[in-house]
Chains A and B, each alone.
Chain A
Amino acid sequence: DAKTTQPPSMDCAEGRAANLPCNHSTISGNEYVYWYRQIHSQGPQYIIHGLKNNETNEMASLIITEDRKSSTLILPHATLRDTAVYYCIVRVGGTGGFKTIFGAGTRLFVKA
Chain B
Amino acid sequence: DTGVSQDPRHKITKRGQNVTFRCDPISEHNRLYWYRQTLGQGPEFLTYFQNEAQLEKSRLLSDRFSAERPKGSFSTLEIQRTEQGDSAMYLCASSPQGDPTGELFFGEGSRLTVL
Contacts and interface: CB of A to CB of B under 8 A. Distances in A.
Interface of A: 32, 34, 36, 41-46, 49, 85, 87, 91, 93-105
B109 A43 contact: yes
A100 B107 contact: no
Contacts of A95: 97-100, 102
Contact of A104 (B31, B41, B45, B102): B41
Contact of B45 (A32, A36, A46, A101): A101
A94 B102 contact: yes
Contacts of B91: 43-44
A14 B76 CA distance: 41
Contacts of B99: 94-95
Contacts of B105: 46
Nearest to B44: A102
Given A93-B102, A94-B101, 14 more contacts: A36-B104, A43-B108, A46-B101, A49-B101, A87-B42, A94-B100, A95-B99, A95-B100, A95-B102, A97-B102, A100-B45, A102-B42, A103-B42, A104-B40
Closest 4 CB pairs of A and B: A43-B106, A102-B42, A46-B103, A102-B43
